[in-house]
Amino acid sequence: MQESTISLIINVTGNISHFVLGYVFGLVTGNNYEYISGNKTRCRTMLESQSIVSVRVSKSRQRHKIAGLRRVEVLVPANHADAVRAYAAQLREGSQSESLVQLRKLIASAYQRFYATCLDNISVNPEKANFADGAIVAAALMHRGNSEAYKLGRAISRLAK
């Protein structure tokens, strides 16, 4: 059984790099790569998997950015690392709980003002409502109510996402 290992760069001439991966010898120039000999699919798979990983990382960073999260790297003494992790977890949970409190206030307001016209067939407890309940109430307000109900529904919808 042969081991596939990447050796160090053998020759660098300008932007052209030669590398060896197992029995594969390839030529890489920038983002374009050409194969001289060997198992082309194995080397191509390696390069494609690197691009898949970079796409996943960028999508993950985009989701975190939309959620209002920011990546922070902190150097602390080893014996305080757990405390920093616990504090970061508390901060993440706190940001969601603040928006949940705001959402519950808006749902309570919606039930007080528009129960008879828009929310008569929806049973949501405003004190225990979660984000999914908020999305349901928002949809009902936007589809069945007047312009005030629509505005309130949009505000609830923004928090529910």
Is residue 84 in a domain? no
Is residue 39 in a domain? yes
Is residue 34 in a domain? yes
Mean pLDDT of 91-102: 77
Is residue 78 in a domain? no
Domains in the chain, number: 2
Mean pLDDT of 60-80: 85
Q: Which residues contact 160 (CB under 8 A, 6 or more apart)?
A: 103, 131, 132, 134, 135, 138
Tokens of 8: 């160090």
pLDDT in tens, 27-37: 555 544 444 44
What domain range is 103 assigned to? 94-160
Is residue 77 in a domain? no
pTM more than 0.85: no
Residues in the chain: 161
Specify whether 47 is located in the same domain as 98.
Answer: no
Q: Which residues contact 5 (CB under 8 A, 6 or more apart)?
A: 21, 22
